[in-house]
Amino acid sequence: MQGTIAQLLSIAAHGNEFLSGRLSDDYFPNSSTFKFCKFVKFVDLQSSGTKWHERDFAKDPNDWFKKLKKTGVVQFRVRYISTNKDETSDRMSVGFVGGGGRWLIEAVKSGKSDFWEASWEVGDRDDPEQNIWHVKYGRILRNRNQPEQALPPAFEVKEQLKDILQKISEFAHKNDCGNFGECFDRGLKALEEPTTSSDKEYKIFPEGYTGPEYHQLLNASQRAWVFGGMGSWNDMGFNDSATHKEYEELSDKLFSLINLSLIVASNPFPRP
């Protein structure tokens, strides 16, 4: 999974953990989702014509949680906005920073919400500790009356994800793409396994956070994530037109279902 997405999901989940009084003080910078980040700060964004102006708000995620709680925030949710374009779909643009659609953190107050969006920029490529990323989350909307997103139940999404993973795994193995087929197989296995993530994956949810089916959706999505730039599943092509059409259809459906799975997993019910 893209590190940009993993970090945002992690911040939202650990923000809920903080609001529940259970967050460990060492969350930042020790979470795997902050690896290679020089800083992760939060700013208010104000528009003046075509330009945005920044005003410092919080120095790191822990500071952000504390300040938002004081302003009346009672819950964090995750939102996804597709930015599909005719020339480049979200699936094909996801390998680029800022591509793949927009992921937002919704900070919910009494009847209103603020929305925060991340910006990732490369800093010093020669940083001795390899912390090359400069990450800022900007508050792009304030005090909006935004209805909660209607989402399907987790068990229903699990069945849909299982179905598409079975189909795309069969396609991959049949068309000499066994390395990708193994990724899809690991995703299938994660839907039935205990809820712990492996050492090779981002640890996104806190221990004991929400029900097992939400952890399974998250883990399956991580293990079956094959989308990116050169060398990824997006870079595949098939000479036979019917085979390539099937590849495109299965890939688009899997990408959409993984995004839905991540949204459902990150907005569990009942709330943590």
Q: What's residue 199's pLDDT?
A: 64
Nearest of 187, 171, 179 to residue 257 by alpha carbon: 187
If you average pLDDT over residues 62-86, what whole number do you get? 92
Q: Give one DSSP letter per residue of 67-123, joined into a string.
A: HHHHTT--EEEEEEE----SSS-HHHHTTSTT-SSEEEEEEE-SS-EEEEEEEEEE-
Q: Could you give the percent of the chain with pLDDT greater than 70? A: 96
Please give the model's pTM, rounded to 2 decimal places. Answer: 0.92
Report the relative pairing of strands 51-58 and 37-48 from DSSP bridges: antiparallel
**Quick count: other Cβ atoms within 10 Å of Cβ 197?**
17
**Quick count: other Cβ atoms within 10 Å of Cβ 193?**
16
Check whether 126 has a pLDDT greater than 70.
yes
Residues 250 and 166: their CA atoms lie apart, in Å, by 11
DSSP 72: T
Report how far apart, in Å, the C-alpha atoms of 110 and of each of 106, 144, 149 are.
Answer: 13, 11, 16
Q: What's residue 221's pLDDT?
A: 96
pLDDT in tens, 84-105: 776 678 887 787 767 788 999 9
Q: What's residue 147's pLDDT?
A: 83
Helices 241-266 and 3-19 cross at an angle (nearest 10°) of: 20
